Amino acid sequence: MTAFVDRYGPWAVVAGASEGIGASFSKKLGERGFNLVLVARRVGPLEELASEIGAKHQVEVRVQALDLGAPNVSSELGHATEALDVGLVIYNAAYSPIGAFIEVDVEEHIKAVNVNVLGTLRVAHYFGRRLADRGKGGIIIMSSMSSIQGTAMVANYAATKAYDTILAEGLWRELGQRGVDVLGCIAGATLTPNYEGSTDKIPSSWLARPMKPGDVAEQALHDLGQRPSGVSGGRNRFAAALLARLLPRRAAIEMVSKETEHMYR
């Protein structure tokens, strides 16, 4: 625990912090003694979480209301954190419009690119420089099992998540040489408000059974510094090996798409 705070503390920024996996990251970092900057669009849930963590663990918790898909994200985060010794940054927020690609309004797809691609790029670039100059720290970028192959009903979201995984892996190499650990966290279905609001169906395959957000966050914190990217949970790791290494590409796309069509059509 002390080694983790020495390596990645004393301040962490969680981008997309107020609920789901982001809230779990925030609570787990508070528990480890990190001071936190919690970022999301809605101030109410952020402030509630900030007081809960601050009271429980006697750490300093600040909140920053910000749309991570906006072009001014680096300057806003820079302004909010310039006086803080930030050692760990987690880019967790994403937008996932669900439906057949051509049925979803193109503006919704662009919003997903803004949050999942451009937001990730801006935050990783801004803090990548800061952490590299500092000579130590960590960045976790949240990705998804849908980044492994093309996926119907979330075709654009899956493509944005492929960007997230590949960016994290390239930065693992580049920034690793400057003392900064980078991890792409490849989560499968996870019981977050976003996931639970997206469907009322239970996955047809046992391989797609959802995990708890706390378990996803805990494993990612454990994987940071160990590997370029890590799949969350044993079932998802088995599925990822099957999809990425064993099945022909066409079969992998069809297998995953059958599940998303069952869940979302």
The tokens describing 147, both together, are 């980044």
Of the candidate residues 4, 12, 18, 29, the single one contacting ligand NAP (CB under 6 A): 18
Would you count residue 87 as binding ligand NAP (CB under 6 A)?
no
DSSP H helices, the chain, are 2-8, 20-31, 43-57, 73-81, 106-113, 119-134, 155-176, 193-198, 213-223, 234-241, 249-264
Size of the site for ligand NAP (CB under 6 A): 27
Is 8 noted as a catalytic residue in this protein?
A: no
Q: Which of residues 132-151 bind ligand NAP (CB under 6 A)?
A: 142, 144
Is 161 noted as a catalytic residue in this protein?
A: yes
Q: Which of residues 114-133 bind ligand NAP (CB under 6 A)?
A: 115
Q: Which of residues 22-61 bind ligand NAP (CB under 6 A)?
A: 22, 40-42
Given a contact cutoff of 8 angstroms between Cβ atoms, the answer to whether 145 and 253 are in contact is no
CA distance 153 to 58: 44
Would you count residue 93 as binding ligand NAP (CB under 6 A)?
yes
Cα angle 6, 181, 114 (rounded to 5 degrees) comes to 120
CA distance 140 to 42: 22
The tokens describing 71, both together, are 């072009």
Of the candidate residues 190, 219, 229, 257, the single one contacting ligand NAP (CB under 6 A): 190
Of the candidate residues 8, 9, 11, 16, the single one contacting ligand NAP (CB under 6 A): 16
Of the candidate residues 10, 126, 194, 247, the single one contacting ligand NAP (CB under 6 A): 194
Task: Tell me which residues touch ligand NAP (CB under 6 A).
Answer: 16-22, 40-42, 66-69, 92-95, 115, 142, 144, 187, 189-190, 192, 194-195
